[in-house]
Structure formats: C-alpha cells, structure tokens
Homo-oligomer: A and B are copies of this chain.
C-alpha cells in the first residue's frame, strides 16, 4: 500500500478563491494574472449549451486573450481521452488552462496539465505525489457545486483497460485560482444538484473522520455538513440563489477539507462502480454512504456525534454513541427527501461483479485514510447490503 503521509507532517494547501455573484466576469483578469496569452479552455457540450462557455470566452477576450475551446470531455474521463486532449493542447501553443464545468472537465483539464509538463502516460501518475514537474497555470470555474475538484489536489482518471477509476493525488495538480460564481449554478438540473450535493456531503463526512484529519481541516468539514443540512433540499426544490450559494460554499468547504485530509471507504467503494458501469459519482457515493457510515461509526464515535449536531439532531444529554447513531438515519432521510436511488440493483449493477469490485475498492487510494481497515469480505458484505 502507498503511504500518503510521507513525512508525518500535516499540510494545508488550497488555491486562491474568488467567490460571488458575477465572479465569472473576473475570469479574463485571473487568466491574464497567471500569465495567459493563449487560453486552452476545457469544458463539455452541456456547459456550452447552457451558455457559460460563451460568457467565459467573452470575459477572456475582453482582456485580449486568445482562446481555444476543447470540449471532448465525457463523464468519468478515460486515460486515452486525457492523452488526446494533451496532444491537442501541445499543438495549440496555449500557455494557460481554464476549466469550465463539473468534475469531469476539471479532472480532464488537470490530466492535460500533467501531460503538458510531465512525460509518459497519464497512468504513470496514479498514486501520491508522483507529479514532479509544475503544471501550466490552471484556473477553474466550477459549475456543479459538488466535486470540489476546483480546490483539491485530486484528479480521478478511468483506466480504460482495467475499467478502474484511479486517483492522482499531488500538490502539483492544484489549480492556481478557483472562481466560484453561484449564478452559474442556476442552470444546473435538479437531479444533478441532488447528486452532487450528496457528493459534497460524502466529501465532508469522509474528510472529517479521515485518519489524516487535523484541527485545520475539521472546521471546514463540519461547516460543509451544516450547510448541506441547511440548503440542499431547498436548492433542489426551488433553485433559489441563497440555497445555491449555501451549496456553493458547502462544496468549497468540503473540497478544502478532503483535499487536505483525504477521503475514505465510501469513495473507495464508489470508484469501482463508476469504473465498471460509468455511473455518476455523486449517485454512487449517495448509495454507499449510509452503509459505510454505519460500519465506521464505532471507529470515530465522537466525530460522528458532532456530525449529528451539524445535521440538526438535538444531541444534548445523549451519549456519543447514541448521537452518532443518528447520522446514518439523517443521511437516509435526506436521500429519501431528494428521491435518489438507494440500491445498486436500481442502477443496473450486477451482483456477480461484487467480488471484483471489492478487490478494486480494497486497493483504492482512498481506503488508506478510512478510520478503520476492512477485510475484502467486509467490503463484499457492504456491497451486498445495498445491492
């Protein structure tokens, strides 16, 4: 197993953040400030259709910057797609990368950035701190309030041969600037707000109980949980700006927490589902979250008790174990209220794949920081429980 905690010191590192209604209008200035003359803008067709790429281009061109748009991005980006993008980048002579979109465009942009200054294939950088050369300047405009990829040191790439989602985790792949404009979230479909909201909650919960959590990451995680509890249902129901703003900050806080404290077993168990079935990352996190939390409860009781309060449970006078037990119940109530699927069988997952998925989950980088160690048979049992 790889060890991310290479020198026993704790690290805390985030991009510069610019936040607010209309923040997108600052994109040109930011891209110029990090040294841009010719911008490689990575996005996907959905974001183009929603009109945000036109807006982004307008602001970039107002600063006199040349732009190349690259939209060959799919959900769960594959290794060969990233390498195709990198070849295209190299031909254009661009000097700054801008990502406008959710986790897939941002992770694709990070992958392209790695290939721009490092050698070999993108798969060689899967693991901890293997990216040795600094990437080109990278500015992100997240459009989903879910992934936190805009502030994290993670990129997830799908190994197309093994059908495995794998993590590149390196300080070198962090963006320079993240521009968070809640206005952009208004075009997001309700189902996506719900699924990415559960992704945010998963980031916060896993970061909070991670074995690498520390006093600098904990308040970010707790704050994210409080904000999800306060805003997610409203954001899905009415898409009003204050609720979307709450979720934008929740996503940011959860991203800061997990980028620096890393994740846990929910992500380890979700990655094989994304890899084998191309399922939405937020949806599979949501399905796996309650069962993993129940298994983790006794290994971080006090933190789960604190989470119960953050989720609106009145825990006064309760023993920590009693308070902690409310957390999976609250999560299930939230999933019910959002109308999200609760079983893997609903998502078309085949029971026969469970042993192989459990093996992949066991080897996932995110398993290293879960508050307890699971036997592969335990992981199989968790998959079966929610099948």
Contact present for B19 and A252 (CB under 8 Å)? no
Contact present for B11 and A17 (CB under 8 Å)? yes
Q: List 20 A-B contacts (CB under 8 A).
A: A8-B22, A9-B20, A9-B22, A9-B23, A9-B26, A10-B18, A10-B19, A10-B20, A11-B17, A11-B18, A12-B14, A13-B17, A17-B216, A19-B216, A215-B223, A215-B227, A216-B252, A216-B253, A219-B219, A219-B222
Verify if A346 is at the interface (C-beta below 8 Å from B): no
Q: How many Å lie between the Cα of A253 and that of B219 in the bound state? A: 10
Q: Give A residues with C-beta under 8 Å from B.
A: 7-14, 16-20, 22-23, 26, 171, 214-216, 219-220, 222-223, 227, 249, 252-253
Q: A13-B16, A17-B216, A19-B216 are in contact. List 19 more A-B contacts (CB 8 A).
A: A7-B26, A8-B22, A9-B22, A9-B26, A10-B19, A11-B18, A12-B16, A12-B17, A19-B214, A215-B223, A215-B227, A215-B249, A216-B249, A216-B252, A216-B253, A219-B220, A219-B222, A219-B223, A219-B253
Contacts of A215 in B (CB 8 A): 223, 227, 249
A9 to chain B, nearest CB (A): 4
A110 to chain B, nearest CB (A): 18
Who on chain B is nearest to A7 by CB? B26
Q: How many Å lie between the Cα of A7 and that of B18 in the bound state? A: 11
Q: How many Å lie between the Cα of A223 and that of B223 in the bound state? A: 11
Q: How many Å lie between the Cα of A10 and that of B20 in the bound state? A: 6
Contact present for A9 and B18 (CB under 8 Å)? yes
Q: How many Å lie between the Cα of A216 and that of B255 in the bound state? A: 12
Contacts of A253 in B (CB 8 A): 216, 219
A156 to chain B, nearest CB (A): 23
Q: How many Å lie between the Cα of A17 and that of B219 in the bound state? A: 16
Q: How many Å lie between the Cα of A199 and that of B115 in the bound state? A: 46
Q: How many Å lie between the Cα of A171 and that of B9 in the bound state? A: 26
Contacts of A10 in B (CB 8 A): 18-20
Contact present for A19 and B9 (CB under 8 Å)? yes
Who on chain B is nearest to A248 by CB? B215
Q: Rank and list the top 5 A-B pairs by shortest CB-CB distance, nearest first.
A: A9-B20, A12-B17, A13-B16, A219-B219, A10-B19
Q: How many Å lie between the Cα of A216 and that of B227 in the bound state? A: 12
Who on chain B is nearest to A252 by CB? B216
